[in-house]
């Protein structure tokens, strides 16, 4: 697909992006503003108490990043006005109904205007507390879906998942959807509503025992790993992301839905410039260790294919998928 098709699609579109302070979301937002400043509006959902806090997070944790250097050079003094007109920070939380947005007028405005919803909100900690991971990765995804269904002009919900919902299987793995209750090891009985009850019951037990916050955190982490492995997934992160896919597929009805499953996301390859990364993420620690001379060798198969993909390639795939599948729905 030509870049021109993407640029044309984005013109005068209104897009809601969740998880807006995340690594991939920043690259997604920067690219849209850089290639199509005539986008109508970007609503960026940020976890914040109010609009003022959301605005501060937007400027401090998104716009101020070196990632926006090329856009700043391109736009100059006009960048601030572009941001103020095109970008609306939204204080909210995907673990709540209506994404936790308290401003009813803003909610109605988004329901009226949004064309595309992009769900990038997630906790990616492999051993996250089960209650936290379930609330954000699974239940949160359902809240995003329900919000998207209420948008009068909705063309598409794009949900970013992970390739590792496929677990630790080897060989050719087809991009098939997950169905409600499906497991990797064939164990029956996976019920997402029951998983919520398991969490609630365990939390009540811990509270009755007057457990410390540290003990509760440890117990919730252990519970997540135990439940994941019971059904064939290696960790809490990929288990809760897999359950999110099940829920979205089951509940989407007529809403066009695209699920993107990237592998390990690394620094940018080309856009807006090579090598941008935020912090030391996943496999980045190996590169840092090698660069500093602390890792002088690394055992591996030189013929193997590493599960790595630059972040800007993921964003490009997201944009192409948006255009292709939104047009299919028209």
User: For the chain, what are the domain ranges?
Assistant: 3-329
Catalytic residue among 43, 164, 178, 237: 237
Q: Are 64 and 56 in contact (CB under 8 A)?
A: no
Query: What kind and span of H or E run contains 103?
Result: none
241 is catalytic: yes
Mean pLDDT, 10 residues at a time, the chain of 330 residues: 86 97 97 96 96 95 96 92 96 96 96 98 95 98 98 97 93 90 94 97 96 96 97 97 98 95 94 90 79 86 87 97 78
The candidate with the shortest Cα–Cα distance to 114, out of 88, 91, 139, 94, is 88
For tokens 């697909």, name the residue: 1
Torsion of CA 174, 318, 249, 123, to 10 degrees: 100
Residue 290 has what pLDDT? 85
Tell me the pLDDT tens digit for each residue of 103-114: 999 999 999 999
Q: φ, ψ for residue 19 (rounded to 5)?
A: 65, 40
- Cα end-to-end span (Å), the chain: 18
Enter the DSSP assignment of 115: -
The tokens for 29 are: 């937002």
DSSP state of 62: I
Question: Could you tell me the two tokens for 90?
Answer: 């939204």
The per-residue pLDDT for 99 is 97
> Tens of pLDDT along 32-54?
999 999 999 999 999 999 999 99
Residues 251 and 246: their CA atoms lie apart, in Å, by 9
Neighbours of 126 (CB within 10 A): 17
One of 241, 269, 270, 292 is an active-site residue; which one? 241
Please check whether the domain covering 3-329 is classified as CATH 3.40.640.10.
no
Active site residue 290: no
- What is the reported pLDDT for 330? 47
């Amino acid at each position: 697909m030509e870049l021109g098709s993407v640029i044309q699609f984005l013109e005068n579109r209104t897009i809601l992006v969740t998880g807006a302070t995340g690594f991939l979301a920043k690259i997604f937002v920067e690219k849209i503003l850089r290639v199509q400043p005539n986008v109508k509006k970007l609503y960026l959902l940020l976890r914040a108490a109010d609009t003022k806090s959301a605005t501060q997070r937007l400027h401090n944790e998104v716009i101020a990043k070196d990632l926006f250097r090329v856009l700043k050079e391109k736009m100059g003094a006009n960048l601030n006005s572009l941001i103020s007109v095109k970008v609306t920070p939204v204080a909210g939380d995907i673990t709540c109904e209506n994404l936790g947005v308290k401003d009813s007028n803003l909610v109605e405005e988004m329901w009226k205007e949004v064309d595309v919803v992009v769900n990038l909100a997630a906790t990616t900690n492999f051993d996250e507390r089960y209650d936290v991971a379930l609330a954000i990765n699974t239940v949160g995804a359902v809240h995003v879906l329900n919000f998207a269904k209420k948008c009068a002009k909705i063309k598409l919900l794009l949900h970013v998942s992970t390739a590792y919902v496929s677990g630790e299987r080897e060989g050719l793995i087809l991009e098939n959807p997950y169905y409600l209750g499906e497991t990797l090891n064939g164990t029956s009985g996976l019920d997402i509503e029951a998983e919520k009850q398991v969490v609630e019951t365990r939390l009540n037990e811990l509270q009755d025992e007057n457990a410390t916050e540290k003990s509760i955190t440890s117990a919730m982490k252990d519970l997540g790993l135990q439940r994941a492995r019971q059904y064939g997934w290696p960790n809490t992160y990929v288990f809760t992301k897999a359950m999110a896919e099940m829920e979205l597929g089951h509940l989407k009805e007529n809403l066009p839905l695209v699920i993107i499953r990237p592998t390990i996301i690394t620094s940018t390859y080309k856009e807006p410039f090579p090598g941008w990364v935020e912090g030391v993420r996943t496999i980045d620690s190996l590169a840092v260790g090698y660069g500093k001379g602390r890792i002088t060798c690394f055992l591996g198969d030189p013929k193997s294919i590493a599960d790595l993909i630059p972040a800007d390639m993921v964003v490009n795939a997201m944009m192409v998928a948006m255009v292709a599948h939104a047009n299919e729905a028209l």
